[in-house]
Chains A and B, each alone.
Chain A
Amino acid sequence: MASLTTRLIMTVTAEPGYNATDIELARAAALGDAAAFEKLYQQHHRRVYSLCLRMLGNSSQAEDLAQEVFLQVFRKIGSFRGDSAFTTWLHRLTVNQVLMHFRKRGVKLEHTSEEGDFTNVVDTPLQSTRRISLVDRMTLEKAISQLPPGYRTVFVLHDVEGYEHEEVGSILGISIGTSKSQLHKARMRLRELILKKNE
């Protein structure tokens, strides 16, 4: 009766010096181990919150969603199979929560813009002589939060989080072409926002 499970669980949470992997923690949490669940939270809450914050552009909504994400983790951890990385699983769960939040609030993700939506490259003053960096992080984060939701979502998924266009397309239910063009427009808009700020 002193089964393998027993030993595994005891190792995961009981030994102070032992650094359990995410998968071990997830298994223990699925069996009801509150300490393992807390450890998962400690290790991942910043990433989850940051992702919510960037996709929503609003810190109190991001906190609400981060909370909802970890409650979902608590409820669904048993369905995590361990054949993907825990971070990948958690990440997808977070993105889905944000998208559900958008849907509930009737936020439109497709942003149809006219050509004149952002300043054309030819009208932009020359910047190549700048010695200082175009971007500082604070300004960049602020500018991202000012993007329309559709641009922001694609930009955050692709440029911040590193998803490929194929993945972005399948997550958002849009074509690869749309994903690419939204991304391009997002980048151009960001540049414009930042240049305006630096003027």
Chain B
Amino acid sequence: MGCKQFEEMISDYIDGALETGEQAVIERHLADCESCRALRDDLLQLVHFSRHLPEHTPSSTVWTAIQTQVKSERRVGLRQRVARWLARLEERNFILSLPQLAAGAVALILVALVVSVVLRREAQQSAETASTPASAAISKNLLSYPDLQQIEERISQLESSVEQRKASWTPDLRQAFERNLAYVNQSLIECRQQISGHPEDKVSEELMLNAYREKVRLLEGFEAF
């Protein structure tokens, strides 16, 4: 074997992809040829180092840009969801049963739950860093959570705005709205009852917060029509 042939097979050789016979031929050549040994050693190093290259960190602007884009896509996502859902209602000629609508709303609430857990944690964190000493015995009960007041305010704003728009709605649209509002309100009532009976029921608290947020979303969605 000559150096040229050796060179053609060296990559397979160092990757262990040669058959035993070929390997023996290669090794015989290596024993006699210093420059091919050098080549082998260099490539072995190259391959070894390439497998263990350090990771690099992008600048922080990457995450900022991602967050901005994600936020705007989430907003669009909500509008589209409402639109799709209405389109589906139309397709079905408004004969969706209450259980079907209810199932949809339950799914939405579960989705929203995730958001609320995070929101709550973030709000708590900022409250903790912002509030001064006394730390006002962080309420054990979510019902007194300051967010709720904001939500109530937002809801009453939205309700009056939706009320004005209602006049121009078709009967079908109005019916769809009332039905869903009724469902969300029902969820709220149930959650409140559950919590008043079992103040420690964290899950009901979460669900209640989400029913609130879902109500906001519903109103926001219909405010656009």
* Bound Cα distance A31, B210 (Å): 14
Q: Which residues of B contact A35 (CB under 8 A)?
A: 118, 121
The interface centre, meaning the residue of B12, B42, B55 with most chain A CB atoms within 10 A of its CB, is: B42
Q: How many residues of B contact A (CB 8 A)?
A: 53
A161 CB, min distance to chain B CBs, angstroms: 9
Interface residues of A (CB under 8 A from B): 1-3, 5-7, 9-10, 13-14, 28, 31-37, 41, 45-47, 49-50, 53-54, 59, 62-63, 66-67, 70-71, 74-75, 120-122, 124, 126-128, 133-135, 137, 140-141, 144, 155, 159-160, 162, 180, 183-184, 187-188, 190-191, 194-195
Contact B73 A160 (CB under 8 A): no
B22 CB, min distance to chain A CBs, angstroms: 14
Contact B56 A33 (CB under 8 A): no
Closest to B69 in A: A71
The interface centre, meaning the residue of B35, B57, B61, B106 with most chain A CB atoms within 10 A of its CB, is: B35
Contact digits for B98-109, partner A, Cβ 8 Å, 1 yes 0 no: 000000001000
Interface residues of B (CB under 8 A from A): 3-4, 6-8, 10-12, 34-39, 41-43, 45-47, 49-51, 53-59, 61-63, 65-66, 69-70, 73-74, 106, 110-115, 117-118, 121, 203-204, 206-207
The interface centre, meaning the residue of B34, B45, B50 with most chain A CB atoms within 10 A of its CB, is: B50
Closest to B8 in A: A184
Contact A66 B115 (CB under 8 A): no
Q: Which residues of B contact A50 (CB under 8 A)?
A: 53, 55-56
